[in-house]
Structure 1
Amino acid sequence: MKVLVGFPPTQSPLGTPLLSQNRQFQYFEKPTFLYPVVLGTAATMVKKAGHEVIWRDAIAEDMNWDEYDEMLEKEKPDIFLFETKAPVVKKHWKSINHMKEKFPNMKIVICGDHVSYLPRETLENSKVDYVINGGYYDFAFIDLVNWINEGKGGAPEGVWYRKDGEIVENGRFEFHKDSERDINDAPFPDRELTKYMDYQDEFNLKGRPQFYIMSARDCAWGKCTFCVWDHALYPKGAYKQRTPENTFAEVKHLVDNFGAKEIFDDAGTIPPGKWLEKFCNLMIESGYNKKVMYSCNMRFGWVDREMYKLMKGAGFRLLKYGLESGCQKTIDKLDKGVDVSKVFEHCKDAKDAGLVCHLTMMTGYPWETKNDAMKTFNLAKKLMTAGLVDIHQSTVVMPYPGTPLYEEAVREGWLRFEKDDYEKLAMDQPAMKTIEMSPEEVQGLCKLNYRIYLDPKYIWQHAKSRIKSWEDIKYTFEGLTAVFGHMRDFSRKPERKGDKELLTEEQVERMLANLHNPRQDLVAIKAGAKEPIPHRKIEEVEAKLPVVQ
């Protein structure tokens, strides 16, 4: 079979969509392209199975529909797999219908977090042939390709489809305990097939060429109420991590065959404990700690001072922490499991070890007052001007379908739009009402966070600690252009449905009565544990005022 994997044209006047390898979604004025690890693995699996594979990412290649149609006409693929997310799913429904009209014999398969949460919806609203339900869509896709190639009817478990005009609800793809499959069986993505050089525009990473990998899918914590990957792609029981030996083997492969200068491990959080210790020792003992820089996502409190030192010795460069707020009640509401008062200590331990600290924060939480929201700005500014945080990323919180945050926002009437106005979740404007902040004020706070980069104290800290070569100057310049790009991203004028768009008194009272409750009974699976650790559910506290219908 001839198989096409990639992305169809997804053009927008708002900018370049960051769709691949992204837990959130955003249109960027300054284009950024992240390598789609699982999609790349899917393409590689199909190629290894003996099928002809074409990789065409219209977003990274800046292809319009005329060019993409011409490619489809020339290649005539039998099947096309691509990934979607909520803000562009309606656009992709139209894309599917367009392609099915022009190329009716081409089977179209769609995957991603939104369609894993609502697989029936896409089958009802487009002419798509198959919807993969779940985050291990590389394994599901190779099963489907082989299934079709063998002439079987229907589809393997976890792939929804139609039969006689009726939608067949076919469960969720997952690794069963009695199966002989393992995440370590996945091949390393074929970087030449998947055109790795199209994914080098990532200003947070310093080395070139740079590569994204995932040592786990997705996060061992797995409870943050806003994270759509934790709940739609990899819900409780779905977390799996590769062995440190398997992960190191991919690092070695990328260095030896592609001259990798920096690798970013995009597991939700790098596996801690014995796993991390073993991986670091493999890097040190092999000498690859001297050949490549390694960066990753990290949780506050996940490792101690001694582990930071070991990581630095193993070649680690940048740690990306998702703090999300400087307000403890928000951290608790999001079920982050972080003590804000310890953040300075953790950052200092990492910096003392010689590591670069990258902090992500969000604005626009319904329950935050202006003073609460300013705690985020003040914390970020203190950390950055003290030289404890090098990079600060600010965004507007988005309640994606499939998350506890979305379910609560719909139930409590927090959304500024209708619950299926998915295109409004593109981060070009706030999606939720707040206690006392207008949409413009929420976006203004995002811009204010980026202005910290222009503070003379931060500039001095950055210059004295991070600029040591001409390469550092170029890296700083690229980062600065991205900062101004983000400031323009959050300068867009939001749509308005009223003068203030604030929560009602009744909504506020009920919300404040339940701030202690993350509103979920999911579980976290700690690295190395065989069974999930139950998360204690706290019953809701009833507000004095009635719920607004």
Structure 2
Amino acid sequence: MKIVFINPPFDIIQKAYGSARKGTKYGYWAPFGIAVLAGIIKKLDCKFEYIDSTILDYTQQDVVNHVIQSQPDMIGITAQLATREVVKHLIQMIREKSAAPIFLGGTLATTFAESVMLENPGLDYVVIGEAEQTLQELILKIRNKADISTVKGICYRSGDKIIRTPSRPILMNLDLLPQPDFGVFDLKRYIPLPLQYKKKPIIAYLSSRGCSYGRCTFCFESGSAAQKYRRHSVKRVIADIQMAVEEQGVKEVAFWDDIFLVDEPWVLEFCELLHQNKIEIAWQCYGYAGSMTKKMVDASAKSGCWNVYIGFESATQTVLDQVKKGVTVEQLAQSIGWVRDAGMDVRGSFILSLPGETPQTAMESVKFAIKNDITYMLFHPYFPEYGTELYSELAREGKIIDEYKGRTTAQYIPEGYKDAKEVEFIIRKAYKKFYFRPSYVLKHINKIRSWDDFKQYYEAMRFVAGIAFSG
């Protein structure tokens, strides 16, 4: 049995940053979730193929041609909220040429399972929530021509009816999952945004699911689709990394856990086992000022971590409190100091149009970033995410003004701003003020040590300038 997975034609980086992305071919990560599913499918003695339309620079017709040539027995499509129309058209085109069952997974499928089935007559199944156990059972049922009505966590068709089966309980012990198979990717083609990596090939990895804090009102990890927090054992994470290093030559790992630097004993054991197993990789991760300790930061730096990303959101305490961030401005500054003093880069982000923000408080956040010598910053408007507490509140009040159109386009206007144009102006102003300081530019010019360094800095400057001067 052969199963083909498709990432539909949709350049999320181009969508997010528009002209800042023009003429480039970077910003891509090999999707960790696909690597996990590939490991499961191969355990079932099935053939697996991944069509990454963005990496292959495919049109929808190219995808269809590839599917026809591949002749799969099942077809899976990853669907996000932003790709709804693209996926709808792609399903229609594939169904005209192939009778293979088509199933859909991802945030779109999980959030709007029944409506997605209704609007896509050519779609056979929707996999809801975490796909690993559900997909494994569904594949076995289809292969054995057995009754699929007992498979939990799917939508399927029965005559003219759409049936949704009971939800599947989440897997609490993540170590029960097969090891991810990164061999399904051509890792040389996956290159992150400039200055977001030290070495190649690089992979993204999740040691946990869900958020250990999970109370921010703006974040999907505290919303209606939030996952219960679970984490792999340290030994399992080490085994996965070691396999990727030995089999795919991986030289860097980006830990994409919502919060990696949490649970000091776990982090310290991880750092120690990297050393004991002589795994010499560069790595980077996400931190939360409310859970980081100096001890875990120092241990991370000594074991190869070079970069910690912290979501600051705002440098105004009343705004942080309003969105239930659970930290103080003083804690933000302290966490920056720990990371910087350990010799690592500090990356971060501010949401400059959360409820309670004004142009004045937004620029105070920029001053905070400059004062605390943050290495790289992202500034963006607030994007209302369906299913979150804040989205529900603003939707009830009719304050969401537009659909998602990119990382610099306003969808919500706080009372302190005049209109969407002012929000977008402040975003551009923040980028200019932070990145185009003579002292900042000179400092980073002095960091250039190689031709690869020069290329990364050049592309990064093009990227930032494309945002800052886009208006």
Normalized against structure 2, the TM-score is what? 0.91
**How far did residue 431 of structure 1 move?**
1.0
Asked if the contact 1:107/1:129 (under 8 Å) is kept, the reply is: yes
- Opposite residue 317 of structure 2, the aligned amino acid is Q
- With over 3 angstroms needed to count, the CA separation of the structure-2 counterparts of 1:264 and 1:349, relative to structure 1, is same
Query: Which string of whole-angstrom CA distances, capped at 9 and with x for unpartnered residues, describes residues 373-425 of structure 1?
Result: 22222222323xxx3x11111222211212222211211111114xxxx5x35
- With over 3 angstroms needed to count, the CA separation of the structure-2 counterparts of 1:367 and 1:328, relative to structure 1, is same
* Cα distance in 2 for residues equivalent to 1:176 and 1:216: 12
- With over 3 angstroms needed to count, the CA separation of the structure-2 counterparts of 1:455 and 1:25, relative to structure 1, is closer
* Cα distance in 2 for residues equivalent to 1:171 and 1:223: 27
Q: Report the equivalent of 1:397.
A: 382
- With over 3 angstroms needed to count, the CA separation of the structure-2 counterparts of 1:118 and 1:65, relative to structure 1, is closer
**How far did residue 305 of structure 1 move?**
1.9
The equivalent position to 1:439 in structure 2, one of 379, 397, 420, is 420
The equivalent position to 1:462 in structure 2, one of 436, 441, 444, is 444
Query: Which string of whole-angstrom CA distances, capped at 9 and with x for unpartnered residues, describes residues 433-454 of structure 1?
Result: 3312321221222222222111
Q: Report the equivalent of 1:48.
A: 43
Alpha-carbon RMSD: 2.3
Asked if the contact 2:74/2:102 (under 8 Å) is kept, the reply is: yes
Asked if the contact 1:133/1:171 (under 8 Å) is kept, the reply is: no
The equivalent position to 2:200 in structure 1, one of 164, 183, 208, is 208
- With over 3 angstroms needed to count, the CA separation of the structure-2 counterparts of 1:356 and 1:483, relative to structure 1, is same
* Cα distance in 2 for residues equivalent to 1:161 and 1:230: 28
Asked if the contact 1:218/1:240 (under 8 Å) is kept, the reply is: yes
* Cα distance in 2 for residues equivalent to 1:152 and 1:26: 46
**Unpaired segments of 5 or more residues in structure 2?**
none
The equivalent position to 1:453 in structure 2, one of 411, 419, 435, is 435
2:391 aligned with 1:406, yes or no?
Answer: yes
Within 5 Å, give how 1:55-454 maps onto structure 2.
55-103=50-98, 105-127=99-121, 128-134=123-129, 136-155=130-149, 156-175=151-170, 182-203=173-194, 204-231=196-223, 233-235=225-227, 238-270=228-260, 271-288=262-279, 291-383=280-372, 387=373, 389-417=374-402, 422=403, 424=404, 426-427=406-407, 429-435=409-415, 436-451=417-432, 452-454=434-436
- With over 3 angstroms needed to count, the CA separation of the structure-2 counterparts of 1:425 and 1:332, relative to structure 1, is farther
3-state SS of the aligned residue for 1:337? coil
- With over 3 angstroms needed to count, the CA separation of the structure-2 counterparts of 1:64 and 1:232, relative to structure 1, is farther
**How far did residue 215 of structure 1 move?**
0.6
- Opposite residue 285 of structure 1, the aligned amino acid is Q
**How far did residue 343 of structure 1 move?**
1.9
* Cα distance in 2 for residues equivalent to 1:233 and 1:4: 27
**How far did residue 233 of structure 1 move?**
4.8
**How far did residue 268 of structure 1 move?**
0.8
- With over 3 angstroms needed to count, the CA separation of the structure-2 counterparts of 1:71 and 1:297, relative to structure 1, is same
- With over 3 angstroms needed to count, the CA separation of the structure-2 counterparts of 1:374 and 1:171, relative to structure 1, is farther
May I ask how many residue pairs the two structures share in their alignment?
A: 461
The equivalent position to 1:478 in structure 2, one of 452, 456, 459, is 459
**How far did residue 232 of structure 1 move?**
5.3
* Cα distance in 1 for residues equivalent to 2:229 and 2:17: 25
- Opposite residue 412 of structure 2, the aligned amino acid is M
Asked if the contact 2:314/2:350 (under 8 Å) is kept, the reply is: yes
* Cα distance in 2 for residues equivalent to 1:243 and 1:154: 33
**How far did residue 94 of structure 1 move?**
2.4
* Cα distance in 1 for residues equivalent to 2:204 and 2:38: 16
* Cα distance in 2 for residues equivalent to 1:37 and 1:332: 33
- With over 3 angstroms needed to count, the CA separation of the structure-2 counterparts of 1:18 and 1:143, relative to structure 1, is farther
- With over 3 angstroms needed to count, the CA separation of the structure-2 counterparts of 1:149 and 1:486, relative to structure 1, is farther
- With over 3 angstroms needed to count, the CA separation of the structure-2 counterparts of 1:158 and 1:337, relative to structure 1, is same
- With over 3 angstroms needed to count, the CA separation of the structure-2 counterparts of 1:440 and 1:393, relative to structure 1, is same
Asked if the contact 1:265/1:294 (under 8 Å) is kept, the reply is: yes
**How far did residue 82 of structure 1 move?**
2.2
Asked if the contact 1:206/1:475 (under 8 Å) is kept, the reply is: no
- Opposite residue 154 of structure 1, the aligned amino acid is I
* Cα distance in 1 for residues equivalent to 2:350 and 2:272: 32
Question: Which one is further off, 91-100 or 351-360?
Answer: 91-100
Normalized against structure 1, the TM-score is what? 0.79
* Cα distance in 1 for residues equivalent to 2:406 and 2:450: 37
Q: Report the equivalent of 1:2.
A: 2
Query: Which string of whole-angstrom CA distances, capped at 9 and with x for unpartnered residues, describes residues 252-271 of structure 1?
Result: 12222222221101111114
* Cα distance in 2 for residues equivalent to 1:468 and 1:345: 30
3-state SS of the aligned residue for 1:60? helix
* Cα distance in 1 for residues equivalent to 2:385 and 2:73: 32
- With over 3 angstroms needed to count, the CA separation of the structure-2 counterparts of 1:263 and 1:176, relative to structure 1, is closer
- With over 3 angstroms needed to count, the CA separation of the structure-2 counterparts of 1:416 and 1:6, relative to structure 1, is same
Asked if the contact 2:380/2:408 (under 8 Å) is kept, the reply is: no
